[in-house]
Amino acid sequence: MNTIIGRKREQRLLEEYYHSNKAEFVVICGRRRVGKTFLIRECFRNKFAFYLSGAENATKAAQLKNFNAAINTYSGYPYPAITDWQEAFLQLQHYIGNMATKRKIVLFFDELPWLDNNKSGFLSAFEYFWNSFASAKSNILLIACGSATSWIVHKIINSRGGLHNRVTRQIFLEPFTLQETEQFLKSRNIMMKRIQISECYMIMGGVPYYLEQIDRSIGLSQNIDNLFFARNGVLKHEFSRLFSSLFKNSENYVKIIKALGKKNKGLTRDEMIQITKIANGGRLSTMLEELELCGFIRIDDSFNHKKKKRLYQLIDFYSMFYLKFIDSVKNKAENYWVNTADSSTYKAWCGFSFEKLCIAHLPQIRRKLGISGVLSFTSSWRYFNDDSGAQIDLLIDRKDNVINVCEMKYAKKEYRITKHDDESFRNKIALFQEDTKTRKTTHFTLISTFGAKHNEYWGGIQSEVTMDDLFERV
């Protein structure tokens, strides 16, 4: 397990399941390229009794041929060729039944959704295998994995058929944190300052496959040009593949993502319907739920918990970057990013992407504020009338009767609070207190890259969080 970066919680859970005294059916899901297969392979290296990976767009006959090759390899027995999945699982049952071992028998089905192609009969045979045989054997650990999260959720986790309530454990694998990203880059001898790692994260997120593409012999800006803007850039066309691999009939999912990509602060459900022309109803709710589950969007509740004011926000860093700089910018030169660094567009992108970076690391912010053990809720607040408007993008509403009013600022050096900033901060807090009628104490919290310069306006800050704090382990 020493080759695995981060994933401490997931490793601990998998080890626990391996030593369980009952049959375990574990489902692992997560977005494309997040490292699901790598995690399972490394955790159970040399422990697989059987391992089969579905092949994308392969026929039933091709998938069955792969199954036959796998069972012959693992069993050492020449099982005959098969024509349907019932025969396949009978062979697997025979193989397991002849194993004389008290150790956990680890069965790993990777890319499970690809095995269930049209009218293949795979799912019903898989269900029968688990219900009639495997679930009764205390030494079986069955692991199912797949990037097509909507299929996993509806066909396995929330199944209304033979697998209803049969899954014993679930793990949703999330992208790396900043701290894990730093570890990953160091493990590949890629040396970056934390401000560069943060910018890299704001472009790629903590997706291991994307980070693997970085060339340590050149700088970050050149890497971004090579990966995103060069004619054959590895990540230039990832966007369409990403959603088609996760969702069946992905067109409407992409419409939602593109609509949210045009509005940094997010959209209400009604605004989304108006822009995408997707009908209001249960199908839209399901798509939003799946996009949230996969970590592409988040629901930003208003401080007053008014449902009509809740905003859906795009939070996937790769998608935000792609839509901002690749999908919407035409005729880009191959050295586009190197020449964009001083532009107003770049600076604006840094500002809103840093806000998303902070929100992605709320546990680290709570830790720095010393409130990890205090029950708290995060939300935003917006106020508009005919004369003025104000908004606060991050409020931490605590059960100890304190609200942290957070202002997030990206800068290449210490942030200098101006007189205008000071007046703006004070007006926001005053309007917030007046509008919400809150009786809680409000603490002004500045979250910035390198902290605030100690000038005459610094004294209004009750607490500070810096970029280094976001790299802490929690």
Question: How high is the pLDDT of residue 1?
Answer: 42
Q: What is the fold, at CATH topology level, of the domain defined by 361-470?
A: Trna Endonuclease; Chain: A, domain 1 (3.40.1350)
The predicted-structure confidence for 16-46, as pLDDT tens digits, reads as follows 999 999 999 999 988 889 999 999 999 998 8
Q: Flag whether pLDDT at 327 surpasses 90.
A: no
The predicted-structure confidence for 91-110, as pLDDT tens digits, reads as follows 999 999 999 888 899 999 99
Answer whether 450's CB lies under 8 Å from 469's CB. Answer: no
Answer whether 383's CB lies under 8 Å from 389's CB. Answer: yes
Question: How high is the pLDDT of residue 316?
Answer: 95
Pairing between β-strand 463-466 and β-strand 105-110 as defined by DSSP bridges:
unpaired
Q: What is the fold, at CATH topology level, of the domain defined by 242-326?
A: Arc Repressor Mutant, subunit A (1.10.10)
Distance set, CA 149 to CA 33, 68, 215, 244, 350 (Å): 13, 27, 31, 11, 30
Answer whether 284's CB lies under 8 Å from 278's CB. Answer: yes
Question: How high is the pLDDT of residue 269?
Answer: 92
Domain boundaries, the chain: 8-172, 178-238+328-333, 242-326, 361-470
Question: How high is the pLDDT of residue 216?
Answer: 95
Write out the H or E segment, with its range, that includes residue 73.
Answer: helix 60-75
- Per the rule left: phi > 0, alpha: psi between -120 and 50, beta: everything else, 253 is alpha
pTM tops 0.75, yes or no:
yes
Q: Flag whether pLDDT at 195 surpasses 60.
A: yes
Question: How high is the pLDDT of residue 294?
Answer: 85
| 160-174, 278-292, 399-413: segment of lowest average pLDDT | 160-174
Q: Flag whether pLDDT at 305 surpasses 70.
A: no
- DSSP secondary structure of 104-168: -EEEEEESHHHHS-TT--HHHHHHHHHHHTGGG-TTEEEEEEES-HHHIIIIIIT-SSTTTTT--
Question: How high is the pLDDT of residue 455?
Answer: 93
Question: How high is the pLDDT of residue 386?
Answer: 65
Q: Flag whether pLDDT at 172 surpasses 80.
A: yes
CATH of domain 8-172: 3.40.50.300
Write out the H or E segment, with its range, that includes residue 378.
Answer: strand 376-384
